[in-house]
Amino acid sequence: MRVEPIAGALGAEIHGVDLGAALADDTVHAIRQALLDHLVVFFRDQHLAPAQLVAFGRRFGTLARYPFVAGMAEHPEIIEVTKLPHERTNFGGIWHTDTAYLDEPPMGSMLYALEVPAAGGDTLFANMFAAYDALSDGMKRMLSGLRAVNSSAKADVSRTREDRIASSPGDAARRVFEATHPVVRTHPESRRKGLYVNLGHTARFEGMTESESAPLLAFLFEHEARPEFTCRFRWTKGALAFWDNRSTQHNPINDYHGHLRRMLRITIAGDRPC
């Protein structure tokens, strides 16, 4: 097993591992450590049946279900993330961390590429530890103790999942979820502090209106996506990305109209941010 960083801020490719095989405990431990070190890890040239993807995910925790889209019939933990050639809007096409509107958002997510366009459809990832560390001491003091309200009903991100809900609605497809979390989150394993507000889901600060919250949130959303905090992954067929949802954000780029992109996604259950 070989770990090669792909950018200064975060991200590493892991070579020499067949994810469809029965992995030894020390290999799983090494992958988890690489995830903690690099926040998102990538594997290429994998050949995974859905059952193998589920088995690999379970080595890192209990699998959680996405509330808005039904999973596969035989493997309900897996949802298909597909953009068809005629569609103009992609799934999750905005900077976000997965399902921050849940009381216990997932620890991590895995995305496995079945079909990808010849060019385009890359995914950007951002390091929320680096974003927090780069703030001034005065801004850190102001954010300390602030809590933010996250909602599944934010208009921009809702539009990115409408086609999937229409074609394959989940049990809670029309329900609105809302959860309040600290603006600065302490990672439960590394104990590092990182920003935990995102453009896709964060609506306002607790105790404030949306209009009162908007100026500071706008600054934080722009700050979090600064290029020096990011990496960019170019997908290939058989590639798998595994990101730490507690310390990163991601943004799938919608630049491949007229082409098919088909992926499988699973999420790993997490805990309540603190």
pLDDT at residue number 250 = 97
Among the listed residues 201, 246, 250, 261, the single catalytic one is 250
Q: Which residues contact 159 (CB under 8 A, 6 or more apart)?
A: 89
- State the average pLDDT for the chain: 93
Question: For position 176, what pLDDT does the model report?
Answer: 87
Of 65, 98, 161, 201, which one is the catalytic site residue? 98
CA distance 180 to 172: 19
Q: Are strands 248-252 and 123-127 parallel, antiparallel or unpaired?
A: antiparallel
Q: Classify 207 in phi/psi space as left (phi over 0), alpha (psi -120 to 50) or beta.
A: left
Q: Assess whether 47 carries a catalytic annotation.
A: no
Compute the C-alpha angle 33/35/75, nearest 5°. 115
Query: Which tokens in the block code for residue 256?
Result: 């491949």
Catalytic residue among 38, 65, 96, 204: 96
The question of whether 25 is a catalytic residue gets the answer no
pLDDT tens readout for residues 23-78:
999 999 999 999 999 999 999 999 999 999 999 999 999 999 888 788 999 999 99
Position 104 pLDDT exceeds 70: yes
pLDDT tens by residue, 75-95: 999 999 999 999 988 888 899
All structural domains of the chain: 2-268 (3.60.130.10)
Task: Identify whether 250 is a catalytic site residue.
Answer: yes
- Residue 201 known to be catalytic: no
